[in-house]
Amino acid sequence: MQIFKKALCIFSSALILTSSLLSFNSYSKIKVDAATILKGDIDNNGKLNAVDLVYFIRFLLNNPIPDTDTSTSLDFNDDNNIDIIDLIIMKQTILYSQNEETTDLKVQEHSSTYGKSAINTANSNAKAIYNAAQLVLFDYEMNDEYITGTFVFDGSSTNDSLIQEINNSITITANSKYCISIKNNQITSVVYCGTNDLYSGAYPNTIPSNLSCTFNPGLLPYASDESFDWNTLK
């Protein structure tokens, strides 16, 4: 009976983990080192992906997995225990890697007056979210809580404490969406769009009003570099 309950618990957690590519739950404040990006390569193919995630679940269920030094490669938070928290961190690490490798970015020049206004508004909203998130993280730090490593948070998430606190502090247009990149308890960039996915805004590297960018978390790395020229993505 105990084995059955353990299996049920792990499978339930796995379903929650894979239900949304950018959702993040109450474990948002787990301390994670960015160097963990190479951990978890259970099948030893030089890549960290969903296959390794499946193997990790098998390991937690005491099922066979490829030979690997589990004591170091699966202990993501270095607490000398391999458990469901390490699985959560592994999942978020995979998501970050996927977002960094995103290449399907649709950026094109336009002359729409509405579009230019929408992009300027989206840039302003991205800045407001950026500032609000910084204040929330400052409160975390005052309580000795940190987000280390690099993560992407989905602004539409309803079960993430960080996103809820941000949304409670600012007014967000209904049906709009945003994503945030955080590194070592600091906001590095925000990408936002209103009801039209074609007109995204960003901060701190704002998107020119004459460039239409489809909303995509893959824009986050470019939004963090103020020297980057958005025109190179056309």
**CATH number (domain holding residue 7):** 1.10.1330.10
Domain that holds residue 32: 2-100
Residues 91 and 132 in one domain: no
Residues 95 and 136 in one domain: no
**Where among 48, 80, 100 does a domain terminate?**
100
Residues 35 and 67 in one domain: yes
Whether 66 and 173 map to the same domain: the answer is no
Rounded CA-CA distance 40/38 in Å is 7
Give yes or no: residues 95 and 154 share one domain.
no
Number of domains in the chain: 2
Interacting residues of 35 by C-beta distance below 8 A, sequence separation 6+: none
pLDDT the model gives residue 3 = 45
End-of-domain residue from the set 44, 68, 100? 100
Q: How many C-beta atoms lie closer than 10 Å to residue 92's C-beta?
A: 25
The CA distance from 194 to 174, in Å, is 8
Last residue of a domain, one of 57, 84, 100: 100
pTM of this prediction?
Answer: 0.60
**Shared domain check, 217 and 122:** yes
Tens digit of pLDDT at every position of the chain (234 positions): 444 444 444 444 444 444 333 333 333 333 334 343 457 777 777 777 777 778 888 888 887 777 666 555 777 777 788 888 778 777 777 765 555 444 567 789 999 999 999 999 999 999 999 999 999 888 888 888 777 655 666 777 766 777 888 888 887 776 788 888 888 788 899 999 988 888 999 999 999 999 999 888 888 889 999 999 999 888
Is 217 found in the same domain as 126? yes
The pLDDT value recorded for residue 28 is 35
> How many angstroms separate the Cα of 113 from the Cα of each of 107, 120, 165, 199?
17, 11, 34, 12
21 and 116 belong to one structural domain:
no
3-state secondary structure of 146: coil
Let me know whether 170 and 225 are in one domain: yes
- Secondary structure letter of residue 171 according to DSSP: -
Q: What is the pLDDT of residue 176?
A: 83
Q: What is the pLDDT of residue 211?
A: 96
* Three-class HEC string of 34-64: HHHHHCCCCCCCCCCCHHHHHHHHHHHCCCC
104: DSSP letter:
-
3-state secondary structure 182-210: EECCEEEEEEEECCCCCCEEEECCCCCCC
Same domain, 113 and 215: yes
> Based on the domain organization, do 152 and 51 belong to the same domain?
no
Q: Are residues 92 and 116 in the same domain?
A: no
